[in-house]
Structure 1
Amino acid sequence: MKLNENGDVDKHKARLVAKGYSQRHGIDYNEVFAPVARWDTIRTILALASFKGWCVFQLDVKSAFLHGELNETVYIDQPQGYVKQGEEHKVYRLRKALYGLKQAPRAWYSRIETYFIKEGFEKCHCEHTLFVKTEDGGNILIVSLYVYDLIFTSNNEDMFVKFKQSMMKEFAMTDLGKMKYFLGVEVIQNEQGIFINQKKYANEVLARFGMIDSNSVKNPIVPGCRLSRSGK
């Protein structure tokens, strides 16, 4: 179940997952590292957009790992319940990456990195999930990638409209509109600026410890409480 920012079920998902734990290094895979966006980068983009008065938008890639192309030769068994009668001895050879494979995140990153470079984006040398595209007249488009979730902002509407159209043509995408829920953080965009909070997470913590009905206070510590190094 995939939940939204209110904790309600947004949609149900199912996928075929490979038994990556049985892979052997040097045979079934080599490199597996794939960069992901740091929260420092995401917060910086939000701060810049808020300061400039830009909107931040969000895209979700459907079955992202399936877009990654494998360089290794990988075989998997036929999934239980879907074994073809009379051909039980046969296996599948994977041409594309599959969820569960150790190299799947890297294969997907390599695929989308190639796309960004082809589209004229420049990759940040110290944050490999940050891509920037500039045009004449000071127009700029900033994209940050966290596995298969993308956020982007721009000072030119034509740039981000063309970007969305190009992405949807290249990949199967879900347009989530303005960024409002990303990696467990709720994002509110209005005329006053951009604000982030973790209301859903906080409520889950309170519920876990039986404090959901406790009285709230505006200060983060009990008034008059004195802390010492000894912890007493």
Structure 2
Amino acid sequence: MTGTILGTYRTKFNSDGTVARYKARLVAQGNQQEYGLDYQDTFSPVAKLPTIRILFTIALFYKWSVQQLDVANAFLHGDINETVYMRQPKGFEVASNPNHLGFTQSQADPSLLTLHRDSVHLYLLVYVDDILLTGNNERAMAELVSKLQSKFALKHLGPANQFLGIKIERTQDKFFLSQTLYAKSIIQMVELHKCNSVANPSYTKLPDSGSDDHAAFDELKYRRIIGSLQYLTLTRPDIAYVVNALSQHMHKPAPTHSVMLKKLLRYIQGSLDFGLPITRSTLTLKTYSDADWASDPDTRKSTSGFCTFLGNTLVSWTVKKQNTVSRSSTESEYRALASATADIIWIKRLLSDFGVLHSQPLDLYCDNMSTIALANNPIFHARTKHIEIDQRFVRDHIQNKNIRLLPISTVDQVADIFTKPLTTPRFKLLRNKLTIAPNVQLEGAC
């Protein structure tokens, strides 16, 4: 074995407190972990969620099948009787076959492994012990699965139909990703399965904290619900803003937050069958960026929101409270724009691993004309020194023709749904533009 090899031990308990079993774990070259900080943590390859959506989008575009593999626990906890090289030692590389199976790691997402050999292109995505495999050659995919099964305890689950608790429904020109059963379990947990549903998950005006005496959740249950809802946002970006807002009060939720949470749960109850469709269109990238200036009444920090479409498919979105207070709406918009630029450049780099190249500038939409003017202005002003890094970052990508900053009306700004509470008609309009709906034929997509 190479490097520092350590063993750590952990006791696993049953729900009644009795010892279930003693677990021993091998820590390979893990001497950077600190006791009391992250010594008990385990680290596994975890694919980025946009990468998963992008893989399905590209597979659908080229009409490839997506296969699912699962590494059995017997392999994960098996006895090791052989010499194990946690990192290939220097001097043992085979010059003619340095990567053995031929796969290389993506620089954008290390959990994505790609193989390009002659006309064969295979893509393997790893999320701990769950694996997605797609490519343009069914025979090569079958041979790869056979080779892996000969070395590891690996289950071939066939076409992907459930991944990370997400149900995957496939038709000829569409994947549909949903978490209906998971959403139902959350509603059952809070005993709201008989409640009246609502059409909007948020309040445009904060409710009176005493308006519903039965809405209060204790702190422990509040945190548990919010944690569950954060996972639900994997296929439900329509609730991302409200979940983010409520997550900021997990340390000490007020009665008002419980009222807001109950309304969100009532909205979910009425939209259990909603999900995220992946449709076959083009592989053109476009991003929408927005910000709500000084929206937090306690800290006066702004909220950034942006989303990226690959063709008509929503593949990435973010809702985040900005780290610092902005002194103007232009400044808050610019901070959001810099984050959106970083995201779309990362996605462009990831797509290149799939052989999808974008030689033309990528479209980035913003509804603040002052921000657009500032981004295109080659003259640096002292009044913008406090956002100099963001300004130069965006402007460099504009000058290098990586992005193209375009104006858009506030009415058509899709990212508005990620930055603030909206009226019900406005919320439904933007939800439709996000393509979030039940699994039926969709109209009016972006």
| TM norm structure 1 | 0.61
Q: Which amino acid aligns with 1:150?
A: I
* 1:130 aligns to 2:112 (yes or no): yes
Partner of 1:30: 31
Verify the 8 A CA contact 1:57 1:176 in the aligned structure 2: yes
CA, structure 1 residues 204+178, in 2 after alignment: closer, same or farther (shift >3 Å)? same
Residue 227 (structure 1) aligned to one of 178, 196, 205: 205
Q: Which amino acid aligns with 2:200?
A: P
Deviation at 1:146, TM superposition (A): 1.1
Structure 1: runs of 5+ lacking an equivalent:
1-14, 70-93, 98-106
Equivalent runs, 1:165-176 vs 2, <5 Å: 165-176=146-157
Q: Which amino acid aligns with 2:69?
A: L
CA, structure 1 residues 31+95, in 2 after alignment: closer, same or farther (shift >3 Å)? farther
* Cα distance per residue 1:192-214 (max 9 Å; x no partner): 31110111210111101112233
* 1:39 aligns to 2:49 (yes or no): yes
Alpha-carbon distance in structure 1 between the residues aligned to 2:21 and 2:155: 20
Q: Give the alignment's Cα RMSD to 1 decimal.
A: 3.7
Stretches of 4+ moved more than 6 A in 1? 94-97
CA, structure 1 residues 181+160, in 2 after alignment: closer, same or farther (shift >3 Å)? same
- Per the alignment, in what secondary structure is the counterpart of residue 158 of structure 1? helix
CA, structure 1 residues 202+34, in 2 after alignment: closer, same or farther (shift >3 Å)? closer
Partner of 2:178: 197
Deviation at 1:120, TM superposition (A): 0.6
Equivalent runs, 1:1-232 vs 2, <5 Å: 17-18=22-23, 30=31, 33-63=43-73, 64-66=75-77, 117-137=99-119, 139-216=120-197, 219-221=199-201, 226-227=204-205
Alpha-carbon distance in structure 2 between the residues aligned to 1:157 and 1:181: 21
Verify the 8 A CA contact 1:49 1:55 in the aligned structure 2: yes
Identical amino acids, percent of aligned pairs: 25
CA, structure 1 residues 38+96, in 2 after alignment: closer, same or farther (shift >3 Å)? farther
Verify the 8 A CA contact 1:58 1:176 in the aligned structure 2: yes
CA, structure 1 residues 56+31, in 2 after alignment: closer, same or farther (shift >3 Å)? farther
| TM norm structure 2 | 0.34
CA, structure 1 residues 174+54, in 2 after alignment: closer, same or farther (shift >3 Å)? same
Alpha-carbon distance in structure 2 between the residues aligned to 1:57 and 1:206: 32
CA, structure 1 residues 141+171, in 2 after alignment: closer, same or farther (shift >3 Å)? same
Q: Which amino acid aligns with 1:158?
A: R
Q: Which amino acid aligns with 1:118?
A: H
Verify the 8 A CA contact 1:68 1:96 in the aligned structure 2: no
Deviation at 1:67, TM superposition (A): 6.3
Structure with the bigger RCO (C-alpha within 8 Å, sep 6+) is 1
Deviation at 1:37, TM superposition (A): 1.1
Q: Which amino acid aligns with 1:122?
A: T
Deviation at 1:35, TM superposition (A): 3.2
- Per the alignment, in what secondary structure is the counterpart of residue 204 of structure 2? coil
More helix by share: 2
Q: Which amino acid aligns with 1:37?
A: A
Deviation at 1:17, TM superposition (A): 4.4
Verify the 8 A CA contact 1:180 1:186 in the aligned structure 2: yes
Q: Which amino acid aligns with 2:178?
A: N
Alpha-carbon distance in structure 1 between the residues aligned to 2:172 and 2:79: 39
Q: Which amino acid aligns with 1:52?
A: Y
Alpha-carbon distance in structure 1 between the residues aligned to 2:118 and 2:56: 24
Q: Which amino acid aligns with 1:227?
A: K
Verify the 8 A CA contact 2:45 2:126 in the aligned structure 1: no
CA, structure 1 residues 208+149, in 2 after alignment: closer, same or farther (shift >3 Å)? same
